[in-house]
Amino acid sequence: MEIIIAKNTGLCYGVKRALKTAQKTRRLRQGKVSTLGDLIHNPQVIADLEAKGVGSIEDVNDIEEGTVIIRSHGVSPEIHKALKRKKLEVIDATCPIVQKIQELVARLARENKEIVIVGNKEHPESQGLIGHSRGRGLIVENETQTAALAFKRKRAVLAQSTQDLHLFKKVVASLIEKTEELQVFNTICRSTQTRQRTTSELATQVEALFIVGGKNSSNTRKLYQISKRILPRTYFIENAGQITTEMLRGARTIGISGGASTPPEAIEAAVEKIQQIFEPHSREESRVQCQK
Ligand code: SF4
């Protein structure tokens, strides 16, 4: 049996940077240290941070003291102002790539353009981007919502950094039909695009594929959807304990991929679990390799 791990799997630059910032802040600051929202969409990592004294709060109104860390997704200018009003110490771990998208949105808003953001309405990054759009932005999640938009003379379209490229292209194609002058900014970050491409390639090479990551992680869910379109035996698991004998039945080549918030330990645990299930039933040795 062969296990192939997708290239570029595991934590992305922005999430790694935010995690390091949180750990460093905890070491250097006295008193309460909290992140505004979960730092990454991964329950195990969040539990680990909590054990080390970095809690997570959902709302600015829920905190009165200490240091607040803004996660890689960034926040709206209103949230920045609310934190300032409370005189809390703020450590901004917004991913620099997301920061650039926020600046782009603010510039387009100053130019009075309608800004279509291809993203998930509930996702914190999209909510932050909307906040930078001064009321000129709107989020579309699918082609149906795009089809319902009116004709405009000028419009700009961009994407949440972790958006599915396939969907973004479809939305752009649909907007061309209903905009006289359309500006297109492909703001899907390079790490997301590479991850989506390598996962779809892996889905064509293996017989079963495990996407490892938190169920609330939007980019991990998209990887699952992309792989599932190619390979019906794609499984979305949060941890290695969810891998069963039935999922592996008859498969000789097995793929593993993970989202931007999946730590390397979760991938290693999935490899070990697959080997544990496989080896008692076979005299053959399993081989683990990274995707070429
Ligand atoms: S997915 Fe890309 S833009 Fe988003 S946090 Fe990671 S590196 Fe930054």
What is the whole-number distance in angstroms between the Cα of residue 266 and the centre of ligand 1?
19
- Identify the CA nearest to 17 among candidates 86, 74, 101: 74
Give the pLDDT of residue 124.
94
H helix intervals, 116-251: 124-132, 143-147, 165-176, 190-205, 218-230, 245-248
CATH of domain 2-10+191-290: 3.40.1010.20
Q: Which atom of ligand 1 is nearest to the CA of 219?
A: 1
CATH of domain 97-188: 3.40.1010.20
Question: Which residues are annotated as catalytic?
Answer: 125
Q: Whose CA is nearest to atom 8 of ligand 1?
A: 14
Is the C-alpha dihedral spanning 191, 194, 200, 201 positive or negative? Answer: negative
Q: Whose CA is nearest to atom 4 of ligand 1?
A: 161
pTM of the model: 0.88
CA neighbours within 13 Å on the CB side: how many for 26?
Answer: 16
CB atoms closer than 10 angstroms to residue 285 = 9
Ligand 1 site, residue 193, Cβ cutoff 6 A? no
What is the whole-number distance in angstroms between the Cα of residue 160 and the centre of ligand 1?
10
**Which positions of the chain have pLDDT values less than 50?**
none
Span between the terminal Cα atoms of the chain, in Å:
17
Give the pLDDT of residue 290.
81
Ligand 1 site, residue 161, Cβ cutoff 6 A? yes
What is the whole-number distance in angstroms between the Cα of residue 134 and the centre of ligand 1?
23
Give the pLDDT of residue 180.
96
Token pair for 253: 């080549």
Give the pLDDT of residue 283.
62
Map out the domains of the chain as residue ranges: 2-10+191-290, 13-94, 97-188
Write down the residue that tokens 């190619």 correspond to.
230
Give the pLDDT of residue 282.
66
Ligand 1 site, residue 72, Cβ cutoff 6 A? yes
Ligand 1 site, residue 12, Cβ cutoff 6 A? yes
Token pair for 279: 């080896």
CB 69 within 8 Å of CB 93: yes
Q: Do 2-10+191-290 and 97-188 agree at the fold level?
A: yes
Token pair for 161: 């950094």
Q: Which residue among 8, 16, 95 has the greatest number of ligand 1 atoms within 8 angstroms of its CB, and so is best to mutate?
A: 95
Q: Which residue among 19, 70, 94, 98 has the greatest number of ligand 1 atoms within 8 angstroms of its CB, and so is best to mutate?
A: 98
Q: CATH topology for 13-94?
A: Rossmann fold (3.40.50)
Give the pLDDT of residue 14.
94
